[in-house]
């Protein structure tokens, strides 16, 4: 039986955690300085509530999120300021995004036997084709299909459409594919909803509070564990 392995990108093949933390802190400071409020604690509470709401509905545009923060404080931001802040935000994330050490070697080995796909959310990067994956050509060219959900009319994960587009491009049925991702709601539950077997990556090098729930699928802590596929899903 033909098999395919589909990957998420951020926190699955590459670690952007430090970049996102630094970019968020910088954005928080700059937005706070523009608002007419003297309470840092109140601002941070509102900012993080808005960020959680946007993530919960898979809306990853930083510009829209920040505009909502301003709205909560009864203010309207200048578009030029949001544009500049957004550009700096993604520069910080990109500059601090590093592939996991085992990513390239693992993908190279798997590509000899399996069709490889990627389904990654755009996360609101300005402009088509700006996804962080493009900074890693040594990885990018190994994939037979790459879907950047949230662009070109494709809704972001966990919507079923990007998952179904991926298996269609790879020429397999959902039950002939495995999806590897780090996010329980967006990746794992999204894959399950379309009949794709997921593998939950909780990478050992990522400092993160993982959801305290029973795992609905196999869990790995390093990408090279995928090489022993017989331990994760039935062999082809």
Specify whether 144 is located in the same domain as 90.
Answer: no
Q: Kindly state the percentage of the chain with pLDDT values over 90.
A: 73
Specify whether 77 is located in the same domain as 184.
Answer: no
Q: Which of 101, 91, 118, 119 shows the shortest CA–CA distance to 15?
A: 101
In a domain, residue 62? The reply is yes
pLDDT at 150: 84
Q: Which of 153, 156, 134 shows the shortest CA–CA distance to 143?
A: 134
Confidence of residue 2 (pLDDT cuts 50, 70, 90): confident
In a domain, residue 79? The reply is yes
| pLDDT tens per residue across span 172-212 | 999 999 999 999 999 999 999 999 999 999 999 988 888 89
**pLDDT for 145 beyond 70:** yes
Question: How distant, in Å, are the alpha carbons of 26, 35, 149, 182, 209 from that of 3?
Answer: 43, 53, 22, 21, 32
- What are 158's two structure tokens? 């966990």
- What are 57's two structure tokens? 């509905």
Total structural domains within the chain: 2
What is the residue range of 157's domain? 4-16+98-231
Q: Which of 115, 106, 120 shows the shortest CA–CA distance to 8?
A: 120
Confidence of residue 133 (pLDDT cuts 50, 70, 90): confident
Confidence of residue 236 (pLDDT cuts 50, 70, 90): very low
Specify whether 102 is located in the same domain as 59.
Answer: no
Specify whether 58 is located in the same domain as 116.
Answer: no
**pLDDT for 116 beyond 90:** yes
Specify whether 187 is located in the same domain as 208.
Answer: yes
Q: Which of 42, 61, 95 is the last residue of a domain?
A: 95
Specify whether 155 is located in the same domain as 224.
Answer: yes
In a domain, residue 236? The reply is no
Cα dihedral 190, 194, 197, 199 in deg (nearest 10) = -10
- CATH code of 160's domain: 3.40.50.1000
Global pTM value? 0.87
Confidence of residue 129 (pLDDT cuts 50, 70, 90): very low
Specify whether 60 is located in the same domain as 164.
Answer: no
């Amino acid at each position: 039986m033909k098999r395919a392995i589909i990957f998420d990108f951020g926190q699955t093949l590459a670690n952007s955690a430090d970049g996102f933390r630094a970019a968020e802190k910088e954005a928080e400071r700059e937005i706070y300085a523009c608002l007419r409020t003297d309470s840092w604690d109140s601002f941070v509470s509102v900012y993080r509530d808005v960020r959680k709401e946007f993530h919960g509905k898979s809306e990853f545009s930083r510009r829209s999120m920040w505009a909502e923060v301003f709205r909560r404080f009864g203010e309207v931001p200048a578009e030029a300021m949001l544009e500049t802040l957004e550009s700096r935000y993604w520069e910080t994330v990109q500059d601090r995004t590093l592939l996991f050490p085992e990513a390239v070697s693992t993908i190279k080995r798997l590509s000899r036997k399996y069709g490889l796909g990627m389904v990654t959310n755009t996360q609101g990067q300005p402009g088509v084709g700006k996804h962080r994956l493009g900074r890693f050509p040594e990885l990018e060219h190994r994939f037979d299909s790459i879907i950047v959900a949230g662009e070109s009319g494709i809704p972001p994960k966990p919507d079923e459409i990007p998952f179904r587009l991926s298996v269609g491009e790879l020429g397999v049925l959902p039950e002939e594919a495995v999806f590897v991702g780090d996010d329980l709601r967006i990746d794992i539950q999204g894959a399950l909803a379309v009949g794709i077997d997921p593998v939950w990556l909780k990478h050992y090098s990522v400092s993160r509070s993982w959801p305290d729930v029973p795992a609905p699928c196999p869990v790995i802590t390093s990408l090279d564990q995928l090489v022993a596929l017989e331990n994760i899903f039935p062999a082809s």
